[in-house]
Amino acid sequence: MSRSYVQIDEFLEKALKEAGYGGLEIQKTPIGTTLKVSVARPGLAIGRRGTGIKDLTEQVAANFRFQNPQIAVSEVKTPELNAKIMAARIAQIVSRGTAFRRAANWTLNTIMNAGAMGVEISIAGKLRSDRSHSETYRAGIVPKSGETATKIVREATTDVLLKLGLYGIKVKIALKNAVEPDVEIKEDMKEVKVEENAEPEGEVAERARAR
């Protein structure tokens, strides 16, 4: 992934935050550059009478070295299966005061109910004390490596700044419709993993004692 792609991707993620930014595809032609942007709510990206997308195109032209940039907006049919959108939703939820664990579990269930093969959510930062640690929440099956993982796992990261500091959020979604016919889902699993010697609470503590 080139540096220019990362920069424009980060720019569009912030600019189209309210529209539910889901990703970018850059297509270069002899007469210009088309930026194919996927969002959950196209109407918010395009704006009334196209003013939103016009302003965004002008900003892209002024800040990036694309030849005659044009932006094409498409709708993400199932936002719950888009890792970028769901990572951003977690950030929005916790910024409004919802506990990390509740936000992660809600997102976990939402993604699985949308038909995912599996999901993994990791949150890192000062979650419950002055010491930074991370928690990982899993459901279903998420391949870790190999050709299967490359083909079916979509991954996104974001961060959110709260009173206690900066928190990192990573979402991995394994797409069932991208699985080859010879791959079979045998069981669903849910797991919460607390790392860096953090003290588990509630039901996590019960699982820890059971082990």
Helix H or strand E segment including 108? helix 100-113
The beta strand positions in the chain, using DSSP E, are: 21-29, 32-39, 69-75, 116-125, 133-140, 153-162, 165-175, 190-194
- Rounded Cα distance between 29 and 101, Å, is 46
How does pLDDT run across 166-187, given as a tens digit for each residue?
A: 899 999 999 987 766 555 555 4
Question: Distance between CA 86 and CA 173 in Å, rounded?
Answer: 10
Q: What is the pLDDT of residue 182?
A: 56
pLDDT averaged over every residue in the chain: 85
- Provide the pairing of β-strand 165-175 with 190-194: unpaired
For 129-144, how does the pLDDT look when each residue is reduced to its tens digit (9 = 90+)? 667 788 999 999 999 8
Percentage of residues of the chain with pLDDT beyond 70: 82
Q: Please write the tens of the pLDDT for every residue from 59-97.
A: 999 999 888 999 999 999 999 999 999 999 999 999 998
CATH topology of domain 3-75: GMP Synthetase; Chain A, domain 3 (3.30.300)
Instruction: Tell me: pLDDT of 3 over 70.
Output: yes
Q: Pairing between strand 133-140 and 153-162?
A: unpaired
Residues in contact with 105: Cβ distance below 8 Å, sequence separation at least 6, in sequence order: 137
Q: Which two tokens stand for residue 116?
A: 């995912």
CA–CA separation, 65 and 162 (whole Å): 34
In the chain, the amino acid numbered 28 is K
pLDDT at 1 over 70: no
List the helix and strand counts (H, then E) for the chain: 7, 8
| Range 4-28 average pLDDT | 93
Whether 79-210 and 3-75 are alike in CATH topology: the answer is: no
pLDDT at 39 over 50: yes
Topology (CATH level 3) of domain 79-210 = Ribosomal protein S3 C-terminal domain (3.30.1140)
Domain boundaries of the chain, sorted by first residue: 3-75, 79-210
Residue 145: pLDDT band (50, 70, 90) is confident
